Amino acid sequence: MQERVAHILKHHQLRVTACRKQVITFFLTQRHAIGHAELEQELEDFDRVTIYRTLNTFLEKGIVHQVPDDVGGAKYALCSDDCDEHAHQDNHVHFKCVECHKLTCIEEVGIPTITLPEGFVAMKASLLIKGVCETCGITA
Ligand SMILES: [Zn+2]
Ligand SMILES: [Zn+2]
Ligand SMILES: [Zn+2]
């Protein structure tokens, strides 16, 4: 795990700091998207500003991407290796479970191309699907 964390930081030319290390470790251990509040709770050694800055750096460098949510603030999830500081490649669908409320990246499903009326230029698209996740579906 520590090796993977160090590799991610090095790959994006970032210095290793305690906060950065812990944020990435938390992302790696969670399979769902994480919001500010959850991160602050998990990383109690660091103040909000440090966590906020770390997330912003990760967003800029292509380590995490923003995940759309229908309620509450922004959520974040780890990017695939294709993202860098120039561009994010997170053109995948996100899924929100109505039972456990977890937001998950569905990396194997891309967002379909949508044809817009003339004069409209698309720059970014996000698709949030709501339903029951595989974990909740089994127990229900
Ligand atoms: Zn990305
Ligand atoms: Zn669920
Ligand atoms: Zn995602």
**Yes or no: domain 2-139 corresponds to CATH 3.30.300.210:** no
pLDDT in tens, 99-138: 999 999 999 999 999 999 999 999 888 999 999 999 998 7
Residue 139 has a pLDDT of 60
DSSP codes joined into one string, 35-101: EHHHHHHH-TTS-HHHHHHHHHHHHHHTSEEEE--SSSS-EEEE--TT--SS-----EEEEEETTT-
CA of 67 to the centre of ligand 2 (A): 17
Residue 47 has a pLDDT of 94
Ligand lying nearest the CA atom of residue 107: 3
pLDDT over 90 percentage in the chain: 84
User: Does residue 3 come out as left (phi exceeding 0), alpha (psi in the -120 to 50 range) or beta?
Assistant: alpha
Locate the domains of the chain by residue range.
2-139
Does the reported pTM lie above 0.85? Answer: yes
CA of 89 to the centre of ligand 1 (A): 5
pLDDT in tens, 31-46: 899 999 999 999 999 9
CA of 57 to the centre of ligand 1 (A): 12
Q: Is residue 129 a contact partner of residue 104, using CB atoms and an 8 Å limit?
A: no
Taking the C-alpha atoms of residue 92 and residue 3, their distance in angstroms, rounded to an integer, is: 27
